[in-house]
Homo-oligomer: A and B are copies of this chain.
Amino acid sequence: MPELRQNVATKEWVIIATDRARRPADFADLKRPFTHSRPARVSSCPFCPGNETSSAPPVLEVRTEAGWDLRVVPNKFPALSNGAEVERSFEGISRRMSGFGVHEVLIESPRHNKTSGLLKDDEVARTLRAMRDRGRELARDPRLMMTIYFKNHGSAAGTSLEHPHCQMISLPVVPHQIRQRLGDAMAYFDETGNCVYCDMVRQELEAGSRVVVEGEHFVAFLPFAALSPFHLWILPRRHMPIFTQASDKELASLASVLRETLARLYFGLGDPDFNYVIRSAPSHEERSRSFHWYLSIVPKVSENAGFELGSGMFINTALPEESAAFLRAVSLPM
């Protein structure tokens, strides 16, 4: 019998379609070539060592004597332009703003064939620290209201570039969906005096059945109302509205939890295409008692169609508890 579940934080309903359900292993495609089977350097790749001049000069670089370990560069084809002035023009149905914003690319490693799940914990921590440090820098510009941090891995996740990289887009507006999330979290706080995300971490740890990786400062689990098979959330245990508030120690814990979670997806499902995103509050919400940032991972193992488009609701054909058990059981190479 199918079931409807509601995410207590986002208020989104999902249909858990158990009549259509597939077993977790049905989503695995272990026959496609894994990222690690690619060469470590590709001469035509704009992000590989030797091709640094394909990008504008870095805004941040981590170097050792052997060369660079990580680079943050302006996106060559930016969605928004940091040369624009912020101008609004609201007239009837025509509501527009100039496309001011900042769009950067973070090259995570000099090695072409290392996706996040294959890196070492301290390499992932380096990426997270670089994102946070750039985010802190961008937050100093009062024209920028918030930053979206994300990673696209594989063509189904929207990237043609194989080389491991993340992106950041800093926006002069707060997207409507994020305003809604903030409002919903505040309504929960009004009723309970608690942060709904803090409550969720506590209750997920108590239940245990959807938890995949537990770290010192972070917990990875499939939400009770996961929107798709293997949809995962990683939340800080400490209440923090904004990603840039995380300490080095906390980011080291996130790196370890994120790396292990991605490795479980990589080896369990056969290097699936995926996106991860950091959902964080706008810069001015640094003292919010009700919103709590988190990282969301969405492996691209299913297709959205007209129903999702027409309702904003999702149909999940896998039971979150079964998906979590499957991921916990994946054996990882030492």
Q: Measuring CB to CB, which residues of chain A are less than 8 angstroms from any residue of chain B?
A: 1-8, 10-13, 15-20, 77-81, 83-84, 92-99, 101, 148-152, 155-159, 167, 169, 171-173, 175-178, 180, 199-200, 203-204, 224-225, 275-279, 296, 298, 303-307, 309-313, 315
Contacts and interface: CB of A to CB of B under 8 A. Distances in A.
A56 to B, nearest CB: 14
A95 to B, nearest CB: 4
Complex A-B, nearest 5 residue pairs according to Cβ-Cβ distance, in ascending order: A158-B305, A177-B312, A2-B99, A150-B306, A277-B310
B176 A12 contact: yes
A304 B158 contact: yes
Contacts of A1: 81, 83-84, 98-99
Contacts of A92: 8, 199, 203
Contacts of A80: 2, 4, 15, 17
Nearest to A99: B2
Contacts of A310: 148-150, 275, 277-279, 296
A18, A96, A204 — most chain B CB neighbours (10 Å): A96
Contacts of A2: 78-81, 84, 99, 101
Contact of A309 (B79, B97, B169, B277): B277
What copy number does this chain have within its complex?
2
Contacts of A159: 305
B298 A169 contact: no
B176 A10 contact: yes
Given A176-B312, A305-B275, A306-B167, A96 B150 contact: no
Nearest to A10: B176
A132 to B, nearest CB: 16
